[in-house]
Amino acid sequence: QVQLVESGGGLVETGGSLRLSCAASGSIFSINTMAWYRQAPGKQRELVASIIRRGSTNYADSVKGRFTISRDDTENTMYLQMNNLKPEDTAVYYCNADRIFGPWGTMYDSWGQGTQVTVSS
């Protein structure tokens, strides 16, 4: 059974940095697409950044130039380096993985439990 676990969230001042991690555990051959989403109170969940297995990335306009998504496929782990953080970045950040391949078959959508990021103003 595959599990996604986020870590690295916390409280940071405006202009500071955080590095989020998402570790996929279980018997996994490969993962096609991994992505970070976030949801602030009273707002809908939005895509922050995504990365496919071959390395192509996509970023929300609001984080371009500040956030960097990466992945280590030998560890089945995804990262989000967040620099120059703003109060608007405050949200619960969720890890998502699509098309996870394992000896048990294929999973098409999976979510982590989320990690809180709070940027003080």
Question: For 80-110, what is each residue's pLDDT tens digit?
Answer: 999 999 999 999 999 999 999 999 999 999 9
Phi then psi for 82, rounded to 5 degrees?
Answer: -115, 115
Task: Check residue 1 and give its pLDDT.
Answer: 79
User: 54, exposed or middle or buried, with CB in 10 Å at 0-12, 13-18, 19+?
Assistant: exposed
Q: For residue 87, give the 3-state DSSP assignment.
A: helix
2 in Cβ contact with 105 (< 8 Å)? no
Task: Check residue 53 and give its pLDDT.
Answer: 87
Task: Check residue 39 and give its pLDDT.
Answer: 98
Given a cut of 90, whether residue 23 has pLDDT beyond it is yes
Question: For 43-88, what is each residue's pLDDT tens digit?
Answer: 999 999 999 988 899 999 999 999 999 999 999 999 999 999 999 9
Task: Tell me the average pLDDT across 13-31.
Answer: 97
